């Protein structure tokens, strides 16, 4: 099975060689390119691994200083926001699962807020829910597990499920209604992993605890290239990634989360490895560079084609 984006995504995607060839031919013949909408799926390739980030939903949130930078004064929050051309009265949240093809496996990383949003984005990538062979859950917050079930029925009927053992055990004992409704019904089809374990050839789990007790990231590694699926390592490209010590409302262990951010972002910057952030502005993938005592998110353009 090949991951294919819609025709309107051809210039922006690498998921299908014929689409790329047709786009190149059009440009070579001096045909005027037509404006392309952003869409809900954006393709990428890492060696032999092909995939797409999926915009499963997006929504504004008011009063972002009640979410980010809880340990910094309003004046500092406003100064940083102004320096980065973003307002202080609202933020735009993005919810971006990722699908990756490794050999015969079609692997979905996180299920989004609900089934409808994620399956609509998958459809733009030419993938049906029945095509998914494995669903990897990075952690158990509602916006990552909300699409596992659809009206009481598993959304991905043919899939097996993978998650971190520490994460599952925490939520299984927490009495959480969303976990009990979305994850527990799939327990018999679930397997567990830890730091360094493989999901499939070229895909390795990396512990990134703090946001939740067992939060995991996943490194794609193929053909001498790498990309980190960073999940919720950082929840905003400025107020969290740029300033890793700023406390985030959603981090369950704020000290551990800040330490993890510094460690992983430092590695990404030093090794020049791109990442996909679940809450970064869509399409969610970019590079990390050091800036002062923090970091800067550099969105990709065509580097991953």
Using CA atoms, how far apart are residues 167 and 218, in angstroms rounded to an integer? 15
Per the DSSP assignment, residues forming a β-bridge with 60 are 92
Beta strands in 90-185 (DSSP E): 90-95, 98-102, 105-109, 134-137, 149-150, 153-154, 160-164
> pLDDT confidence of 133, banded at 50, 70, 90?
very high
**What are the pLDDT digits (tens) for 215-270?**
999 999 999 999 999 999 999 999 999 999 999 999 999 999 999 999 999 999 99
pLDDT class of 2 with cuts at 50, 70, 90: low
Q: What is the pLDDT of residues 49-99, one digit of tens each?
A: 999 999 999 999 999 999 999 999 999 999 999 999 999 999 999 999 999
* Other beta carbons less than 10 A from residue 191's beta carbon: 12
What pLDDT, on a 0 to 100 scale, did the predictor assign at position 45?
Answer: 97
At 276, is the pLDDT very low, low, confident or very high (cuts 50, 70, 90)?
A: very high
Tokens (6 digits) for 304: 């991953």
Q: Is pLDDT at 12 greater than 70 in this prediction?
A: no
Percent of the chain with pLDDT over 70: 88
Provide DSSP, 19-61.
HHHHHHHHHHTTPPPPP----SEEEEEETTEEEEEE--EEEEE
**What is the band of 27 on the pLDDT scale with cuts at 50, 70, 90?**
very low
Q: Are 106 and 4 in contact (CB under 8 A)?
A: no
Percent of the chain residues past pLDDT 90, beyond the cut? 87
The more confidently predicted of residues 3 and 23 is 3
CA–CA separation, 124 and 105 (whole Å): 19
In this structure, the number of other CB atoms found within 10 A of the CB of residue 253 comes to 15
In b/e form, how buried is each residue of 144-175, taking b as 16+ CB within 10 angstroms? bbbbbbbeeebbbeebbbbbbebbbebbeeee
pLDDT at 31 over 70: no
Phi then psi for 137, rounded to 5 degrees?
-105, 115
Question: Which of 33-47, 137-151, 154-168, 189-203 is the least confident region?
Answer: 33-47
Instruction: Quote the CA–CA distance of 20 and 188 in Å, as a whole number.
Output: 41
The label of the residue with tokens 């008011």 reads: 62
Residue 39 pLDDT: 85
Nearest to 41 by CA among 1, 6, 92: 6
Residue 290, pLDDT > 70, answer yes
Least confident of 33-37, 134-138, 152-156: 33-37
pLDDT-derived band at 3, boundaries 50, 70, 90: low
Return mean pLDDT, the chain: 90
The two tokens of residue 257 are 């989360």
Phi/psi of residue 11, nearest 5 degrees? -70, -30
Which one, of 143, 195, 187, lies nearest residue 164 by Cα? 195
The structure tokens listed for 250 are: 């959603």
What pLDDT, on the 0 to 100 scale, is given for residue 77? Answer: 98
Number of Cβ atoms within 10 Å of the Cβ of 128: 13
């Amino acid at each position: 099975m090949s991951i294919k984006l819609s025709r309107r995504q051809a210039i922006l995607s690498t998921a299908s060689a014929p689409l790329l060839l047709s786009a190149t031919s059009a440009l070579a013949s001096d045909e005027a390119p037509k404006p392309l909408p952003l869409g809900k799926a954006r393709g990428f390739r890492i060696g032999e691994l092909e995939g797409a980030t999926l915009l499963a939903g997006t929504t504004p949130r008011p009063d972002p200083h009640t979410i980010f930078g809880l340990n910094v004064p309003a004046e500092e929050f406003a100064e940083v926001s102004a320096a980065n051309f973003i307002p202080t009265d609202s933020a735009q949240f993005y919810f971006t699962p990722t699908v990756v093809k490794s050999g015969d496996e079609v692997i979905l990383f996180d299920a989004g807020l609900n089934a409808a949003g994620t399956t609509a984005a998958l459809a733009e990538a030419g993938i049906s829910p029945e095509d998914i062979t494995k669903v990897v859950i990075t952690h158990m917050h509602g916006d990552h597990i909300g699409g596992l079930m659809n009206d009481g029925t598993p959304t991905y009927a043919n899939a097996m499920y993978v998650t971190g053992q520490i994460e599952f055990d925490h939520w299984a004992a927490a009495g959480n209604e969303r976990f009990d409704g979305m994850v527990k019904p799939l327990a018999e089809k679930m397997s567990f992993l830890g730091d360094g374990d493989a999901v499939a050839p070229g895909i390795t789990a990396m512990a990134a605890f703090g946001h939740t007790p067992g939060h995991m990231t996943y490194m794609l590694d193929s053909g001498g290239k790498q990309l980190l699926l960073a999940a919720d390592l950082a929840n905003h490209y400025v107020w969290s990634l740029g300033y890793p010590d700023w406390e985030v409302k959603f981090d369950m262990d704020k000290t551990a989360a800040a330490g993890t951010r510094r460690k992983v972002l430092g590695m990404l910057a030093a090794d020049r490895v791109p990442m996909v952030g679940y809450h970064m502005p869509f399409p969610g993938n970019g590079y990390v560079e050091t800036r002062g005592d923090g970091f800067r998110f550099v969105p990709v353009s065509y580097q991953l084609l």
